[in-house]
Amino acid sequence: MLIAAPSSGAGKTTVALALIAAARRRGLVVQPFKIGPDFIDPGHHARVAGRSARTLDGWMLGERACRASFRSAMAAADVALVEGMMGLFDGVGAAGESGSSAEMAKWLQLPVLLVVDAGAMARSAAAVVRGFRDFDPALRIAAVIFNRIGGPGHLALLRDALAAAGLPPCLGGLPTDARFTIPERHLGLVTDATVPIEALAEAAERHLEVDAILRLTPPSRRGVAQPPAQRLAEPLARPLIAIAHDEAFSFYYPENLELLERAGATLVEFSPLADTSLPSGVSGVYLGGGYPEMHAARLAANTALLAELRTFASAGGLVYGECGGLMVLGESLEDAAGHPYRMAGVLPLRTRMLPRALTLGYREVTIAAEFLPPLTARGHEFHASTLDGPSVPPTLARVYLVRDPTTATSAREGFSVRRTLASYVHLHFASAPALATALVAAARRAAVDLAGTLPAAEATPR
């Protein structure tokens, strides 16, 4: 089912996590999904579900790719719980449903569990539910969950209001409770916060009609899993790509990594915070997003790793950085307190944190890099930092034409030197599968250039 709400902040994630935990208590295999460009909520879903959360996004991926991803992920699952984005009908623009949770619910024929923040309302909640039920008759709102209720009396009043108006039933209400509140910071929920799984499961059992909610879901439509990527015998034909993964770098779409493997790469994880060298034999490095600004001092102190990354890039290794990756590939990163820290210096640019600003939105990118074929991919920006404009030399290649679909404006970005490419844009490789193939091919070519130029160390494949 789709867990949706009238707006952001209504409690979708809390309800989703509580239901995942309660369903697992019943012995069910739960496949979590998240609609929209988000790395943080899926990480919490995965911790509670015990399996990787998948991204569904109508604008970035389109209907066919979303249906295929849904079927593949459901191949060995009993129930799918899909957390929506923002409000139920919010998407790319105001005139249509593109990119919205409502669009996805219709594509996948999902019943909707509407989560309503009732902390400051009573009978008016019925008006909200009626408006959402009637806005799009093709959508089925199957039931309602109220969040932040004041107690049993408040919940009884809310139930009666829905019943009197002939609206979908209320199947429970969660009180405000600090035990299952996940702290937030500037990009959303804290990524490394301990998810209170037992408290969430107990809250679901005590306050929600879990079995009735699960009966709303249609029988599991199990799909066909993607076949495993064929393993190639030649080491250079199957290049090794190092994935930065630790407290500072954790924003990756699982599908991106799977597409790299399917295109012929072997992936190995490393920590820019803890490891003093790159894994042995790598010819590519993928630096995803995350919170490098929260760990800038530790990153700057790891001078051996930063120096090796700089040498690796200058020798022709493939380096692909997104957002946080862009920040660490620059010359310096200035934290929120105004303190600058020296970074890898692969690219001649500086970044700094903004005190009260967030860049957020979909982006369509046309790529024209020397080491990649021309192609167009889709993704999003999501950051609270900015480039120090004067630090970027006009001679630095900008190989992206970035279009904002909401304003139709375009800008040049995507900074490139040799086989290094870095941008603030998080691309979803499934929007252009040829991108993963091209990156692996570039890593394969880089392996030839790098042969014998870097020191050997032990590596553990992903």
Q: Does position 452 have pLDDT exceeding 60, yes or no?
A: no
CATH domain 240-450 topology: Rossmann fold (3.40.50)
Which pLDDT score, from 0 to 100, does residue 181 have?
Answer: 63
pTM of this prediction exceeds 0.85: yes
Distance (Å) of CA 346 to CA 215, 328, 332, 417: 54, 9, 10, 8
Which pLDDT score, from 0 to 100, does residue 183 have?
Answer: 54
424 neighbors 289 (Cβ within 8 angstroms): no
φ, ψ of residue 22 to 5 degrees: the values are: -70, -40
Q: Does position 461 have pLDDT exceeding 80, yes or no?
A: no
Which pLDDT score, from 0 to 100, does residue 223 have?
Answer: 45
Q: Does position 460 have pLDDT exceeding 70, yes or no?
A: no
Comparing 218 with 36, the larger pLDDT belongs to 36
Which pLDDT score, from 0 to 100, does residue 231 have?
Answer: 45
Q: What is the pLDDT of residues 320-364, one digit of tens each?
A: 999 999 999 999 999 888 999 999 999 999 999 987 777 889 999
Q: Which of 22-26, 92-96, 191-195, 269-273 has the lowest mean pLDDT?
A: 191-195
Which pLDDT score, from 0 to 100, does residue 237 have?
Answer: 75
Sort 199 into a burial class: Cβ within 10 Å, 0-12 / 13-18 / 19+.
middle
Nearest to 9 by CA among 149, 148, 159, 203: 148
Which homologous superfamily does the CATH classification assign to the domain defined by 2-215?
Answer: P-loop containing nucleotide triphosphate hydrolases (3.40.50.300)
Which pLDDT score, from 0 to 100, does residue 219 have?
Answer: 67
Distance (Å) of CA 95 to CA 30, 99, 120, 210, 406: 34, 12, 30, 36, 11
Averaged pLDDT of the chain: 90
Reading the block at residue 436, the tokens are 């993963």
Q: Report, as an integer, the average pLDDT of 52-73.
A: 95
Q: What is the pLDDT of residues 66-107, one digit of tens each?
A: 999 999 999 989 999 999 999 999 998 888 899 999 999 999
Q: Does position 235 have pLDDT exceeding 50, yes or no?
A: no
Domains 2-215 and 240-450 agree in fold: yes
Which pLDDT score, from 0 to 100, does residue 177 have?
Answer: 73
Which residue type sits at 105? A
Distance (Å) of CA 391 to CA 79, 348, 395, 413: 50, 7, 12, 14
Q: Does position 189 have pLDDT exceeding 80, yes or no?
A: no
Q: Does position 114 have pLDDT exceeding 70, yes or no?
A: yes
Reading the block at residue 339, the tokens are 């303190």
Using CA atoms, how far apart are residues 69 and 383, in angstroms rounded to an integer?
27
Distance (Å) of CA 283 to CA 245, 251, 253, 316: 17, 21, 21, 9
> By three-state DSSP, how is residue 370 classified?
coil
Consecutive H or E run containing 399: strand 397-403
Question: What residues are labeled active site?
Answer: 323
Reading the block at residue 309, the tokens are 């990354």
Q: Does position 456 have pLDDT exceeding 60, yes or no?
A: no
Which pLDDT score, from 0 to 100, does residue 453 have?
Answer: 55
**In 103-187, beta strands by DSSP E:** 112-117, 141-149, 170-175, 184-185
Domain ranges in the chain are 2-215, 240-450
DSSP sequence for 446-461: HHHHHTTTS-------
35 neighbors 57 (Cβ within 8 angstroms): yes
Q: Does position 165 have pLDDT exceeding 60, yes or no?
A: yes
Which pLDDT score, from 0 to 100, does residue 199 have?
Answer: 85
**DSSP summary character for residue 358:** -
Q: Report, as an integer, the average pLDDT of 189-205.
A: 73
Nearest to 283 by CA among 444, 452, 418, 422: 444
Reading the block at residue 136, the tokens are 């799009």
DSSP sequence for 179-233: GGPPPEETTEE-TTSPP-HHHHHHHHHHHB-HHHHHHTSPPP----PPPPPPPPS
Comparing 268 with 186, the larger pLDDT belongs to 268
253 neighbors 447 (Cβ within 8 angstroms): no
Q: At what angle do helices 197-207 and 40-49 cross, to 10 degrees?
A: 80
Which pLDDT score, from 0 to 100, does residue 63 have?
Answer: 97
φ, ψ of residue 61 to 5 degrees: the values are: -110, -30
Q: What is the pLDDT of residues 127-137, one digit of tens each?
A: 999 999 999 99
Which pLDDT score, from 0 to 100, does residue 194 have?
Answer: 59
Q: Report, as an integer, the average pLDDT of 252-276.
A: 96
